[in-house]
Amino acid sequence: QKYIVKNYFYYYLFKFSAALGEEIFYITFLPFTYWNIDHSVSRRMIIVWSIVMYIGQVSKDILKWPRPLSPPVVKLEMRTNAEYGMPSTHAMAATAISFSFFIATMNQYKYPFELGLVAAFVFSTLVCLSRLYTGMHTVLDVIGGALISAVLLMLLYPSWDMIDHLLLTSPFCPLVSIVVPLVLCYNYPKLDYYSPTRGDTTTVLGAAAGATVGFWLNNQYPVPAHTSNTFQLGFPLATSKMVAVLARFFVGILVVLLTRQLMKSVVLGVLGYRYKFPICNLEARRRLEVEVPYKFITYSSVGFTATVIVPLLHKLLGL
């Protein structure tokens, strides 16, 4: 549909807010937390995020509630239009990430409790409102997604420490972290037509699987954490720390993006040779035997790179 933007402030605010529930945000914020803030906080967010997203995506394809009709609604996004509506996984992810970050940090860092609570609420609310503004969800979809995330957080919180301990110490962690997500991806609910939900779910579970194996490996062979005194440029202390943070982030993101591009090309090339299809054939890439290994291997490599390779590179560069 054609539309006219009458208020550019709301338009860009909610378009930006919608991006906070997509891959570009996950692939930057979650690694940033791991590289610059706290490993334990990052581990908890990634585990909660993967569980919440899997349940949300599967719920969509089981309930099969349609998205808002267009017209009368004007839809500003088209890729996710093939998915069902209830619950909003944008709302679920935003609620899960913001409040798990708040809960995981409130007892470890000194900041006003009210400030953290308001920040988490504003972040999740902006993402939820963006789904209404872009015409992708109903109010019920958004409220349902936020409530499901809240319930899952309450159920997971009491076992956070136990899950974290098992992920770091159990000898079965690498095997379980790979096998269980793969089984879930290959047994994803079947639909009468293609929907990107299975591919998106495989992306999330693959990234979490690679990161989890990285967590376990780092605990077996610990790498010294970064320290601020290893990166001095003669600036004031705050400026020096900021430069170190930005350097770690940009180096890490560059390596992660290169890993993603390289693995996409390699895995698609191998699968294309195995199943006799050209890489540019979109329909072939949507087949179960291609989509699941392609996305799982690619993004598990991304998760492993972000948690193991990038920290080693940071250490090598003295960041």
Please list the active-site residues.
90, 137
Instruction: Please tell me the distance from the alpha carbon of residue 181 to that of residue 187, in angstroms, as a whole number.
Output: 10
